[in-house]
Amino acid sequence: MHDLLRNAAWRNALSGLLVGAATIVVSAPARADNLLGLYIGGGVGESHVRNDSLSGFIENHTGWKALIGIRPIPIVGAELEYTDFGHPGATGVTVAPGLAYNVDASQKATSLFGLAYLPLPLPVLDIYGKVGFSRLKSDVNASCVTPVTCGANPAYHQQSTDTRFAYGVGAQAKFFAVALRAEYERIQSSAGSPDLYALIATWTF
C-alpha cells in the first residue's frame, strides 16, 4: 500500500509539472536583455537513499529539486540547487548475522555545479554534463528488532553533514523560454551515495 501511494504521489507531481510547463510554453519568448541567461526550475523523480553503515541500506523514494542557474555562453553554465532525496524506511534490515533493525533515513543536499553543453547543431536540443560539490546532510534512525542480539544498542540516531563531489548528465528540449529536462545526478559519499533520476522544467527570464 505504501508503494502504491508513493507511486500515485509521484505520478500526480509529474502530471502537475508537465501541465505547468505546457502552460508556460504559450508565454512570450525569453527576454533579449537577459545577458547571463538566468533561469529557475524544479523537478521530481525517483531517488535512491543510501547508508553504507547499515550493510548497504538502499531504498527507492520520490525525490525533488529546485534550482537557479545561468548560461552566459551556449557551451558553459552554472547552477545552484537544493535536492531532497526523500525519507524512506525499511523493516528488518540485517546489519549482522542475527541482528536486524527497523530503519528510516533521509538525505538532502545543497549543490553548486558547473555545466558543459555539447555544441550540437540543433538549437532546440541540449546534451550536458555537470560536476560540482554538494553539502550533503544525512539522517538515520534505527531501532533493534532482535532483542536477544542487539545488546547495549537497541536504538541509535546518526547524523552527518559533509561536502562531497557530485556529478550528473542530462538532455533537454527547449520551447521558447521553457526547457524540459531528463537528468541523472549522484553525490559521492562514504556514508552512502544518493542519486536521483528526475524530470525538470526550467524557465529562462
pLDDT at position 133, please?
98
pLDDT at position 93, please?
82
Dmax (CA) of the chain: 69
Statement: residue 27 has pLDDT above 60: no
pLDDT at position 59, please?
93
| Residues 205 and 31: beta-carbon distance below 8 Å | yes
Mean pLDDT of the chain: 86
CA distances from 88 to 40, 58, 147, 158 (A): 28, 9, 24, 15
pLDDT at position 64, please?
98
Q: Is 33 helix (H, G, I), strand (E, B) or coil?
A: coil
Mean pLDDT of 20-39: 63
Q: Let me know how long the chain is.
A: 205
Pick the CATH number of 2-204 from 3.90.950.10, 1.10.10.60, 2.30.30.110, 2.40.160.20: 2.40.160.20
Band (117; pLDDT cuts 50, 70, 90): very high
CA angle 105, 109, 112 (to 5 degrees): 160
| Residues 103 and 55: beta-carbon distance below 8 Å | no
DSSP-assigned letter for residue 55: S
Torsion of CA 54, 167, 133, 191, to 10 degrees: 10
Band (5; pLDDT cuts 50, 70, 90): very low
The model's pTM is 0.80
pLDDT at position 32, please?
59
Q: Is 168 helix (H, G, I), strand (E, B) or coil?
A: strand
Domain ranges of the chain: 2-204
Statement: residue 47 has pLDDT above 70: yes
pLDDT at position 95, please?
76
pLDDT at position 157, please?
86
Statement: residue 119 has pLDDT above 90: yes
Residue 93's DSSP bridge partners are 101
Mean pLDDT of 69-82: 97
d(CA 75, CA 82): 23
Give tens-digit pLDDT for 141-184: 988 888 878 877 788 788 999 999 999 999 999 999 999 999 99
